[in-house]
């Protein structure tokens, strides 16, 4: 049997962190003098799942110096890390724990490939009790943002695999595009976007209900 791996996006795919990060971003904008105030849907479309450097470069009236980017990114990370500690701030997407547990029980290697900084990824996974289920965690904070394929290629390599031998779970249009650009198969979960926005994926689900290991394995070419 050909060995395959599973690569997971985090926010919107494993965790429901939207409100936590949206409220954190608005607080961050207020504290740092940025006039932009996106409504929740505009935030979801333009910023959710992007690295903070990408967001800052998109909204700043002039290019920011590297020192300013690092300082502001660190400030946002610290702010959201504090928000995430509040009970109920980060929750689990229903049913995802069953899928992750079944993959682990069948010795399928799994890695996280998220645009968040490592501290945030680790905190979210620990908060929902799934940290130990993953063989590796790859932060894309210093990699090109999705839809660039880099994060999934690096995550696959961390498992000793090529991206072509992996199935990616994603919830965003940009994430699906990144998975396909990397050469991976992709299962999209419509938690953050309507199914039609995720049509580039190989399989689009509205929930994890009924998703079995055999379906994932067949998609991987097993």
* E strand residue ranges, 12-128: 15-16, 91-92, 110-114
Q: Are 76 and 99 in the same domain? A: no
Choose one of 35, 50, 84: the last residue of a domain: 84
* CATH number of residue 188's parent domain: 3.40.50.1000
How much of the chain, in percent, has pLDDT values that exceed 70?
98
φ and ψ of 205, to 5 deg: -120, 150
- Tell me how far apart the alpha carbons of residues 85 and 95 are, in angstroms, rounded to a whole number: 22
Are residues 106 and 212 both part of a single domain? yes
Beta-bridge mates of residue 110 = 6
Q: What is the pTM of this model?
A: 0.86
For residues 67 and 161, state if they share a domain: no
Where in the sequence is the domain holding 43, given as residue range(s)? Answer: 18-84
Q: Which of 53, 181, 198, 40 is nearest to 115 (CA)?
A: 53
User: In terms of domains, do 106 and 46 share one?
Assistant: no
Residues 30 and 53 in one domain: yes
Assess whether 71 and 94 both reside in one domain: no
Q: What is the DSSP letter of 209?
A: T
Instruction: Please check whether residues 76 and 167 belong to one and the same domain.
Output: no
Provide the domain count of the chain.
2
Encode the chain (222 residues) as per-residue pLDDT tens digits.
458 999 999 999 999 988 888 999 999 999 998 888 889 988 887 887 677 888 888 888 888 899 998 899 889 888 888 888 788 889 999 999 999 999 999 999 999 999 888 988 988 898 899 999 999 999 998 899 899 999 999 999 999 999 999 999 999 999 999 999 999 999 999 998 999 999 999 999 999 999 999 999 999 987
Confidence at residue 64, expressed as pLDDT on a 0 to 100 scale: 87
Q: Which of 54, 84, 114 is the last residue of a domain?
A: 84
Last residue of a domain, one of 84, 100, 131: 84
Same-domain check for residues 117 and 70:
no
> Are 79 and 131 in the same domain?
no
pLDDT at 1: 41
Residue 161 shares a structural domain with residue 102: yes
Over the stretch 111-166, which tens digit does the pLDDT of each residue have? 999 988 898 898 889 889 999 999 999 999 889 989 999 999 999 999 999 999 99
The reply to whether 127 and 69 lie within a common domain is no
43 and 145 within one domain: no
């Amino acid at each position: 049997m050909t060995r395959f791996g599973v690569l997971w996006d985090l926010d919107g795919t494993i965790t429901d962190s939207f409100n936590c990060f949206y409220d954190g971003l608005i607080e961050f904008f207020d504290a740092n003098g940025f006039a932009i105030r996106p409504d929740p849907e505009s935030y979801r479309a333009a910023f959710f799942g992007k690295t903070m450097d990408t967001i800052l470069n998109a909204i700043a009236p002039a290019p920011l110096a590297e020192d300013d980017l690092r300082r502001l990114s660190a400030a946002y990370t610290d702010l959201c890390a504090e928000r995430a500690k509040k009970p109920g701030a980060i929750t689990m997407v229903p049913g995802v724990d069953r899928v992750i547990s079944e993959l682990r029980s069948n010795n399928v290697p799994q890695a996280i490939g998220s645009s968040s900084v490592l501290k945030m990824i680790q905190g979210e996974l620990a908060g929902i009790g799934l940290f130990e289920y993953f063989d590796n965690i790859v932060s894309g904070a210093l990699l090109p943002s999705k839809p660039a394929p880099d994060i999934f290629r690096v995550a696959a390599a961390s498992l000793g695999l090529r991206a072509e031998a992996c199935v990616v779970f994603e919830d965003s249009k940009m994430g699906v595009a990144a998975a396909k650009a990397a050469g991976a198969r992709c299962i999209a979960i419509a938690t953050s976007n309507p199914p039609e926005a995720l049509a580039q994926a190989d399989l689009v689900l509205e929930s994890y209900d009924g998703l079995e290991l055999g379906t994932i394995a067949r998609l991987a070419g097993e």
